[in-house]
Amino acid sequence: MSHPLLEARSVRKEFGDVVANRDVDFELERGEVHSILGANGAGKSTFMKILYGIHRRTDGKVFVDGAPYNPNSPADALNQGIGLVFQEFKLIEPFSVLDNITLGLDGATFDDNSARHREEIAELSETLGLGLADRLDWRVSELAEGEKQRVEILKILYRDVDILLLDEPTSILTPQEVDEFFGVLERLVEEEDLGIVLITHKLDEALAISDRITVLRDGEVVGETTPADVDSETLAEMMVGHDDVASVADHRVDHGETDAAMRVDGLTVRNARGQVAVDDVSLTVHDGEIFGIVGVEGNGQTELARAVSGLLTPDSGRVDFHGTDVVGASRKGLQDEGLLLIPDSHGVVEEFEIPENCILDDYEEYHDNFVIQGDRMRSTAQRVVEEYSVKIPGLDATASQLSGGNKQKLTIGRKLGDENRRMVVAVNPTKGIDVDTKRFIHDKLVQERNEGRSVLLVTTDLDEALSICDRLAVINDGRIVSVFDDPASVTKQEVGLAMTESESR
Amino acid sequence: MSVSDRVASATPRDTAFVVAKILVAIAIPVVFLSIPVVLQGESLVAFFVKIWQTTFGTPGGWISTFVKASPVFIAGLGVLLAFRTGFWNIGAEGQMAVGAFTGYAVVVNAPPLPSVVQILLVFLVGALAGGVYALIAGWLKVRFDVNEILTTLMLNFVALLLIDYGSQSRWSSPLGYPFSEAIPSSYELPTIFSGDFHVGILVAFALFPLVGFLLYRTPLGFRFRAIGSDPDAAENSGIPVGRSTLVMVLLSGALAGLAGAIELLGVTGRLQSGITGPNYGYVAIIATLLAGHKLRRLPVTALFLGGLLAASVALQVSISGGAELFIIGLVLLVVVAFYED
Amino acid sequence: MALDSLGQLTEIVTISLVSTSVALMPPYLLATIGEIYAEQSGVINIGVEGIMVLGAFLGFFGQYVSSSATVGFLTAAIGGAVLALLMSYLTVTRLRNQIVIGLGIYFVGFGLASYLNTILFPGGTPPRIDTLSAVAIPVLSDIPILGRVLFTQNVVVYLSLLLAPVAAYVLFRTAIGREIRSVGEDPGVADSLGVDVFTLRYACLIVGGILAALAGAYLAQGVSGRFSRFIVDGRGFIVLGLVIVSLWDPRKAVLVVFAISLLDSVQIRFQSAFPDAPIQLLAMLPFVATIVILVVIRLVGSIGQDMPDALATNYERGDTQ
């Protein structure tokens, strides 16, 4: 009996207490495209990194062509015939396409190795239909994202691999580039008889291109199937789980019609790399409501949150907060107007002690004649710590000594202590936090809502969004693709589908 | 964690490590200073005695140590403030020189005033000039994102040339020496204890709690520390990072400028090419680095370096000028090499 | 009186000026090329000045003791390599901050040179050595103007001018040059392809150190014939700016270095022509010019592509956890 090209059995990976991969089985044959499908945090990234020598598995076995496989580094994996195309390309932007491909190849030191390999590389590009033969001297920085990806692929294939791992390969491609990409995959499988592992959260793409699909959820294999045997709905359910009765916070107060707290109109924002992250978004958040924006990480929600809170300048569009124009205002100015921000990260200064962290936003209120009043600062800290049950070794402890959950409680406690507040923009407020603290924070947010203030909740946590939001928008690829006015009546699968469906459909 | 907690939780290994670091830092200068002595065939015992006497063994030694440590400390305060906000101020040397230069300009041009007022005026102008000089590099960084390491370095050389110009050309002594005329006695800083201990040293003592106060008890210092520790968190909380950086650069240069003015009035008494002494500006940077950017350690490192400088003068090693820099540089490298930050 | 000044002015703007400029190029050129290599591999060495001063002393001392210029240069090269090795160890292996270590190297180099000078030549009249003599290249040196300027120079000038295109070729057209640059752009990517990040950084720093030391030695052995601790006078720091202005390209460095050498020689001529003028103000020019150019470059916004992306960042291989 011949061996599968790649075989993983009972692979387990622990990071301290967290089990990222649990008992994962996986098989790959030559000439096959086998997709690993899962939502954020399902463990597919970890598994892939184990295959590529970036992480060492805690338990289990992996075989390549029947022989045990234990890579110590990516260079190791490459030498053994396994290549990985990262989501963020490992290319050197100022170098030419040709130089990127020939970098690190064996040969004489003072040789012009790029010239030496040129013909062969051009040939390979033609065979695979990658269309790079005439672009070999272009700088990588001059290429489109889709083309860059093809350079990555060519680079890896030129090094003689048998197995190709692709990490979320279509996340930065335009719809047309996606089609071209699938064409390339088909040719790779036909011409080179490779085994391809495609890691993705886009289930319709998995359905379109795979021979087999393995679904991961919470680090475990939920099932392995083929496109013929399954449809989108079933896959979505496998990915996100059954629709438990969403634990909607029942102590909601009915406000009826309320005023708009924030109006966003045609907002377009670019990210740090100059790409459009938020694409013509419009929405309205009312007083006394929790408006949720849910989506897979990296779809523009971070940029959206930063733009509406004054930290990022948009390309175009308007944002109006209670009559104030947000665009052009400073974070501090907006804070004074009552627009608070609970950031994704860097909410506390690790080196500062607790009382100092408690006055980070309004330290100027705490000084008389140039001197910061220590006792006033401490009494504020005392109040926050008590009200929010923050577990601390002592009031003089630095933030770095607190657990993640307590740090977050401290941040939220100090923010919600602002008496002038009118709206809170909360970005992933319960990421990585234990269940009890999560509930506590949710209660506080609902309380804000009940007292007539508004909350814009930006999160990747679907359960959280469904449980406390009054209205829910799904962001995908920088656009708002659906708005659910009654989250109680919506199934998790529906929302999951909107989150993961690719834009081209 | 309070200091007592930290002390209590320090393991024997930590303590041994710190002690070793200190011993090595002391051993290096001693070894290298002794080489010329050995080569000249003189007594090593007398050498050790002399080192002890000229640094911390006698009142005279203490005084000369303080005289040397004071500019290192004052300029070091400025450097520390800058480094803590993420601004690599390598220009302390130039800022100090500018402080001395403008200070002397005041001496030459100011109308007769009571002595105290004259002195304070020189201090003020010197500090201001140093601050503005630093601000050139600061503004270039904030506005144009020009790397401050290169600009402050270049400005150092410009400032030192300015001093040369002032001492050899514009205000040069009519006798043809490469330094200026002496300042009038009304500008000289009064001394206490003995001839060398000028009042400027007391300024160093006063500044320590002042800067500490600024950094730890005022809103401005709060901002500096937040930016220096976590610029993203500072930004998220609405702290104006660019503006605060400029203010801090101004303060940083002002302290170095003040150190220069004090040297002028308290030590040299005239404008000369060596007004920044044995490169006090750079030594101040090393003092800050050795202190691990921690304010409370700066007096210790400044004193240590001051003692080293005093000893090398007494041993006449510094006739070559710059020899102390070798020793100090070596100490820096060795300490940083094994410094688990 | 006016005619006199005109005559003096003509004296300044003479062919000999250009010739002197070329003769003054090696210190800047060698050090710049060396630093280009170091920075292309991702390490910035702000202690170049210190290595140059040490090189100047060692070169001077070597020649003084052996009466051989070659021995002098060799001694300097060894000293430069040792200092560079120390820097490599502290930054590449022990991952300490490159700026801090660079400062330390400056102090150590500068200080060591002064220290050794005190010990080995205590007091008295400072000694002198013979400087390199010009070697006229047959035939070429007979060309009017160009012959005198370019082909009647000393050996080191020829070598350094030849070094530039060779250095550029290696850096931009060979496998190892690409590997070096990849390490400076993105050491993580380079590492994943099997490129030896650490060895390459060590090598480039050491090459930089050797060249800087030779540059300094030339100042003593080729220009002044004496040593004083002020001999380098900030050129090593200017080199840091020159590297940026030449966009990390040894060929462009030749032009930039010529410009600054021209400035240097104008200064010298001016000083001897007008001994009473405040030459300090003129001496500020190179430093001010460097700042201005740095700002201009930022405004034009063009260096982004050419600057090694990973400059001044230490690389630690993320462990396989």
Cα–Cα distance measured from residue C104 to residue B326, given in angstroms and rounded to the nearest whole number:
9
Through-space distance between the first and last CA atoms of chain C, rounded to whole angstroms:
82
Domain that holds residue B180: 70-307
Of residues C94, C109, C295, nearest to B140 (C-beta): C295
- Chain C positions touching B140 (Cβ under 8 A) are 291, 295
pLDDT tens digits, one per residue of B38-76 = 777 777 787 778 778 878 878 888 888 898 999 999 999
| Tokens linked to A71 | 């890579």
Average pLDDT, chain C: 87
Q: Which residues of C touch B312 (CB under 8 A)?
A: none
Query: pLDDT higher for C254 or A371?
Result: C254
Q: Are strands A212-217 and A220-225 parallel, antiparallel or unpaired?
A: antiparallel
User: Quick one: pLDDT at residue C8?
Assistant: 60
Name which of A219, B130, A25, A85 is nearest C192 in CA terms: A85
* Gap between the Cα atoms of A89 and A147, Å rounded: 11
Tell me the CATH architecture of domain A6-240: 3-Layer(aba) Sandwich (3.40)
Mean pLDDT in residue range C143-156: 78
Count Cβ atoms below 10 Å from residue C285 Cβ, excluding itself: 16
Whether residues C110 and B322 touch (CB distance < 8 A) is answered with: yes
Interchain CB distance below 8 Å, A75 and C191? yes
More confident site: C222 or C316: C222
- What are the CA-CA distances from residue A81 to residues A8, A64, A84, A433, C164 (Å)? 16, 9, 10, 40, 41
In a domain, C128, yes or no: no
pLDDT of residue A255: 63
In chain C, the number of structural domains is 1
**Backbone torsions φ then ψ of C230, nearest 5 degrees:** -95, 10
pLDDT digits (tens, 9 = 90+) for C203-220: 999 999 999 999 999 999
pLDDT at A259: 81
- Could you give the CA distance from residue A86 to residue A48 in angstroms, rounded to a whole number? 10
pLDDT of B319: 46
Half-sphere exposure of A277 (CA within 13 A, CB side): 21
Please indicate if any CB of chain B lies within 8 Å of the CB of A335.
yes
Any chains having at least 3 CB pairs less than 8 A from chain A are: B, C
Helix C98-120 with C48-66: angle, nearest 10 deg:
30
Q: Are the CB atoms for A128 and A150 separated by under 8 Å? A: no
CA B209 to chain centre: 17
Among B9, B227, B237, the strongest candidate for a mutation testing the A interface, having the largest count of A CBs within 10 A, is B237
pLDDT of residue C311: 85
Q: What is the DSSP letter of C319?
A: P
| Six token digits for residue A110 | 């003072």
**Of A180-194, C6-20, C242-256, minimum mean pLDDT range:** C6-20
CB A28 within 8 A of CB A197: yes
Q: Quick count: other Cβ atoms within 10 Å of Cβ B317?
A: 24
| Averaged pLDDT for residues C305-313 | 80
Residue corresponding to tokens 């577990």: A391
Residue B309's nearest CA partner among B288, B285, B326, B292 is B326
DSSP line for C63-84: HHHHS-HHHHHHHHHHHHHHHH
Tell me, yes or no, if B88 comes closer than 8 A to chain A by beta carbon.
no
Between residues A257 and B82, the one the model is more confident about: B82
pLDDT at residue B112 above 90? Answer: no
Interface partners of C (3+ CB pairs, < 8 Å)? Answer: A, B
- Of A332, A352, A367, which is closest to B218 when you measure between CB atoms? A367
Predicted confidence pLDDT, tens digits, chain A (505 residues): 578 899 999 999 988 777 889 999 999 999 999 999 987 778 888 899 899 988 888 899 999 988 999 998 888 888 889 999 887 788 998 899 999 999 988 877 888 888 889 999 998 888 888 888 888 999 998 888 788 888 998 998 898 889 999 988 887 777 777 888 888 888 888 888 889 999 988 888 899 999 999 999 888 999 999 999 888 888 888 887 765 544 445 555 666 667 888 999 999 999 877 788 899 999 999 888 999 999 877 788 999 999 999 888 899 999 999 888 888 888 888 998 899 999 988 889 988 999 999 989 888 888 877 788 888 888 889 999 888 888 888 888 888 888 878 888 899 999 988 888 999 999 999 887 777 788 888 989 998 988 889 999 999 888 888 888 989 999 988 899 888 888 878 877 788 778 777 654 3
Please report, for chain A, the start and end positions of each structural domain, with discontinuous segments joined by +: 6-240, 243-338+422-505, 348-419
pLDDT at A82: 92
A277 three-class SS: strand
Residue range(s) defining the domain that contains residue C298: 7-121+146-306
Consecutive H or E run containing C203: helix C197-218
pLDDT given for residue C11 in this prediction = 52
DSSP 3-state of C126: coil
Tokens of A466: 């469904």
Please tell me the distance in Å from B169's CA to the nearest CA on chain C: 6
The alpha-helical segments, DSSP class H, found in A44-93 are: 44-51, 74-79
The two structure tokens encoding residue B122: 């020189």
Burial A176-203 (b: 16+ CB within 10 A, else e): ebbebbbebbeebbeebebbbbbbbbbb
**Residue B266 pLDDT greater than 80, yes or no:** yes
Per-residue pLDDT, C264:
85
- Helix (H) / strand (E) element for A342: namely strand A339-342
Instruction: Name the nearest CA neighbour of C172 among C304, C303, C275, C306.
Output: C306
Q: Indicate the helix (H) or strand (E) that contains C150.
A: helix C146-150
Max mean pLDDT range (A453-457, B116-120, C136-140): A453-457
- Counting one residue from chain A and one from chain C, the pairs whose CB atoms sit within 8 A come to 76
Sign of the CA dihedral C132, C136, C140, C144? positive
Quote the tokens at residue C32.
Answer: 């710049």
**pLDDT tens-digit series, residues C44-96:** 999 999 999 999 999 999 999 998 889 999 999 999 999 999 999 999 998 99
pLDDT at B317 over 80: no
Here the contacts of A232-236 (C-beta below 8 Å, separation 24 or greater) are A232/A203, A232/A204, A232/A207, A232/A497, A233/A493, A233/A497, A235/A37, A235/A203, A235/A206, A235/A207, A236/A203, A236/A493, A236/A496, A236/A497, A236/A500
Query: Inter-chain contact C110–B153, Cβ cutoff 8 Å?
Result: no
The rounded distance, in Å, linking the Cα atoms of B278 and B325 is: 8
For B208, what's the count of Cα atoms within 13 Å in the CB-facing half-sphere? Answer: 16
Q: Per the CATH hierarchy, to which homologous superfamily does domain A243-338+422-505 belong?
A: P-loop containing nucleotide triphosphate hydrolases (3.40.50.300)
ipTM of the complex: 0.85
Query: Which has more pLDDT, A218 or C41?
Result: C41
Per DSSP, the three-state class of A351 is coil
Q: Phi and psi (nearest 5°) for A393?
A: -65, -25
Q: Which of A53, A74, A103 shows the shortest C-beta gap to C178?
A: A103
Q: What is the pLDDT of residue C318?
A: 65
Give the amino acid at A172. I
Q: Which residues pair with A267 in a beta bridge?
A: A281
* B218 found inside a domain: yes
In this structure, which amino acid lies at residue B171?
A: W
Q: Is residue C179 part of a domain?
A: yes
The pLDDT of residue A25 is 93
Mean pLDDT of chain B: 84
CATH number at residue C80: 1.10.3470
Whether residues A349 and B218 touch (CB distance < 8 A) is answered with: no
How high is the pLDDT of residue C304?
62
Q: Is the pLDDT of residue B169 over 90?
A: no
Are C258 and C21 spatial neighbours (Cβ–Cβ below 8 Å)?
A: yes
